[in-house]
């Protein structure tokens, strides 16, 4: 186990940048058990308060008072002593883990002083310890700094921004406090679901809104409390212009798959949307690839951003890549051979056009294999149903366009096939990382 000292939010030297270290900070022994919060005796509560203060020697008088209030309130909670023992922990993820997620500093989620209810959601989601991108991002995001983070797909980027977002939301204030922008409807649904699962013990209202769904339903929903809004830029901008999506109290703007959001398709909407949020907002940007458009955006909108770069190489460790040099008329036969030879849990097969997606899915079905397809010209309800059913294992193969490359996490997928070669290297990278 790596025994480097842990650090509280904003303290320490991460791989992505430099923050002034606290010379008085004392590293915890990695073998030290997390101190259980006692429930009865004042003396024990006092001792625990001293431990919290020792772990945060930089605290001001106000922060000390906050610690004291926390200790006192939790001492009254008769069930706090065994809260971890009563969690409904899911079965452990037994998939092989590479250095991309195991090369950590040894931090624990409890090191970040998160709300008890949020910690409960984190553990019940099946997370045991922070991944490298989470170790780098969470403590910095909690300080309020802007972040530009580059990390591989499949390494925990979603939780790296969802956890600090949920921590910083005041659930007693019924305004939109966090907006998470994503480029596709499927990713919006997936991200909102992660937020709901992590925040299941919090009273935080999460809403998802995307194009292709009922605008009237979204307007009606916004008349109810919403704390965290996940969606695609065009739809959120539309609601903001109509005055029903009020963003004047939004203190955190998160951009997932930031390079795609800053493509010509989305950037005009992003530029307009930023005018609706306060000037002192915090911006977090995450992606696996950062073209020059990201630098231009950073220079215009981010205030002294903390740079995190965990991309020493482009593809995830543990991915084996092959290519088959065949003519167009041989492709289906080659695909049939792969199906018969490979041990496939689930596969995603990419084509470069809507027409080719439908034709190939028909061919695969005729060969006797179960197959779904998905593309942008389908009705949104149909897309949602295909996405849901494939994720739940109703079908082994999915043929799709590049609509499906961004941030989609389906654990059973172990084979990705480029039936048509992608048009650029970034697209190949995002397709490639789906098979982890």
H/E run at residue 124 = helix 116-124
Better pLDDT: 344 or 282: 282
Same domain, 253 and 108: yes
Please report the DSSP string for 60-112 in residue order: -HHHHHHHHHHHHHHHH-TTGGGTTTT--PPPP--S---HHHH------GGGG
CA dihedral (124, 128, 131, 134) in degrees, to 10, reads 50
Provide the pLDDT for residue 317. Answer: 59
Mark whether 204 and 342 lie in a shared domain. no
User: Is residue 321 assigned to a domain?
Assistant: no
Pairwise pLDDT comparison (247 vs 388), residue with the higher score: 247
Has residue 3 got a pLDDT over 50? no
Mean pLDDT of 33-50: 46
Q: Which is more confidently placed, 170 or 317?
A: 170
> Which one, of 72, 25, 20, lies nearest residue 49 by Cα?
72
Going by pLDDT thresholds of 50, 70 and 90, the confidence category of residue 232 is: very high
- Residue 37 in any domain: the answer is no
- Tell me: do 299 and 335 sit in the same domain: no
384, 291: one domain: no
Does 416 map to a domain? Answer: yes
Which of 9-13, 181-185, 240-244, 296-300 is least confident?
A: 9-13
CB of 207 within 8 A of CB of 179?
Answer: no
Torsional sign, CA 116, 155, 164, 212: negative
HEC secondary structure over 162-217: HHHHHHHCCCCCCCCCEEEECCCHHHHHHHHHHHHHHCCCCCCCEEEECCCCCHHH
Give the domain range for residue 423.
328-435
296, 428: one domain: no
Residue 43 in domain: no
Are residues 143 and 243 both part of a single domain? yes
- CA–CA separation, 317 and 402 (whole Å): 23
Of 278, 309, 340, the one marking the end of a domain is: 309
Query: Which residue's structure tokens are 């911006």?
Result: 283
203 in the same domain as 119:
yes
**Number of domains observed in the structure of the chain:** 2
CA atoms within 13 A on the CB side of 213: 22
153 versus 35: the higher-pLDDT residue is 153
Contacts of 25 (CB under 8 A, 6+ apart): 5, 7, 8, 11, 12, 57, 58
Which of 309, 336, 356 corresponds to the end of one domain?
Answer: 309
Record the pTM: 0.63
For residue 435 the two structure tokens come to 């098979």
Q: Is residue 8 part of a domain?
A: no
CATH value at residue 102: 3.40.50.300
Give yes or no for a contact between 293 and 262, defined as CB atoms under 8 angstroms apart: yes
pLDDT of residue 4: 43
Residue at token pair 């956890």: 163
d(C-alpha 176, C-alpha 161), whole Å: 16
Predicted confidence (pLDDT) per residue in 65-107, tens digit: 655 555 555 544 445 558 888 888 888 776 666 666 666 788 9
Please report whether residue 319 resides in a domain.
Answer: no
| 68, part of any domain | no
The better pLDDT of the pair 270, 289 is held by 270
* CA distance from start to end of the chain: 24
Distance (Å, rounded) from C-alpha 71 to C-alpha 47? 10
81 belongs to a structural domain = no
Instruction: Check whether residue 291 and residue 344 sit in a common domain.
Output: no
Same domain, 304 and 389: no
Please state, in angstroms and rounded to a whole number, the distance separating the CA atoms of residues 211 and 234: 7
Q: Which of 276, 309, 342 is at the close of a domain?
A: 309
**Same domain as 410, residue 286:** no
Q: Is the pLDDT of residue 151 over 60?
A: yes
DSSP 14-63: -SS-B----TT--PPPTTSPPPP---S-HHHHHHHHHHHHHH-TT--HHH
Between CA 156 and CA 135 the distance in angstroms is: 10
Residues 277 and 375 in one domain: no
Same domain? For 151 and 281 the reply is: yes
Indicate the pairing of strand 147-150 with strand 206-209: unpaired
132 or 41: which leads in pLDDT:
132
Q: What's the pLDDT at 199?
A: 96
């Amino acid at each position: 186990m790596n025994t480097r000292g842990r650090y509280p939010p904003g303290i320490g030297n991460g791989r992505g940048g430099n923050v002034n270290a606290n010379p008085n900070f004392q590293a915890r022994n990695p073998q030290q058990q997390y101190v259980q919060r006692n429930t009865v005796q004042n003396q024990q509560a006092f001792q625990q308060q001293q431990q919290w203060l020792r772990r945060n020697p930089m605290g001001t008088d106000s922060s000390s008072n906050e610690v004291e209030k926390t200790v006192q309130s939790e001492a009254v909670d008769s069930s706090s002593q065994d809260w971890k023992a009563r969690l409904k922990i899911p079965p452990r993820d037994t998939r092989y883990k590479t250095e991309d997620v195991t090369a950590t500093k040894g931090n624990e989620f409890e090191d970040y002083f998160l709300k008890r209810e949020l910690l409960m959601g984190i553990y019940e989601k099946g997370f045991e310890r922070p991944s490298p991108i989470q170790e780098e991002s969470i403590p910095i995001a909690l300080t309020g700094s802007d972040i530009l983070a580059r990390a591989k797909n499949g390494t925990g980027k979603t939780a790296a921004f969802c956890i600090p977002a949920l921590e910083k939301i005041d659930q007693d204030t019924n305004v939109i406090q966090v907006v998470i922008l994503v480029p596709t409807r499927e990713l919006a649904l997936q991200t909102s679901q992660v937020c709901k699962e992590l925040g299941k013990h919090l009273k935080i209202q999460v809403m998802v809104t995307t194009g292709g769904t009922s605008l009237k339903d979204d307007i009606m929903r916004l008349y109810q409390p919403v704390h965290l809004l996940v969606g695609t830029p065009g739809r959120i901008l539309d609601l903001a212009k109509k005055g029903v999506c009020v963003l004047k109290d939004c203190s955190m703007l998160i951009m997932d798959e930031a390079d795609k959001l800053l493509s010509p398709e989305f950037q005009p909407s992003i530029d307009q949307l930023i005018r609706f949020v306060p000037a002192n907002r915090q911006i977090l940007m995450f992606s696996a690839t950062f073209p020059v458009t990201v630098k231009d955006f950073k220079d215009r909108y981010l205030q002294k951003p903390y740079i995190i770069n965990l991309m020493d190489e482009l593809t995830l460790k543990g991915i084996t890549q092959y290519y088959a040099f065949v003519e167009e008329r041989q492709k289906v036969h080659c695909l049939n051979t792969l199906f018969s030879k490979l041990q496939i849990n689930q596969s995603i097969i990419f084509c470069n056009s809507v027409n080719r997606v439908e034709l190939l899915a028909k061919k695969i079905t005729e060969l006797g294999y179960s197959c779904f397809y998905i593309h942008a010209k389908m009705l949104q309800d149909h897309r949602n149903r295909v996405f849901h059913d494939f994720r739940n294992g109703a079908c082994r193969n999915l043929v799709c366009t590049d609509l499906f490359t961004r941030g989609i996490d389906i654990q059973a997928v172990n084979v990705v096939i480029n039936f048509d070669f992608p048009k650029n290297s970034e697209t190949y990278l995002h397709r490639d990382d789906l098979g982890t």
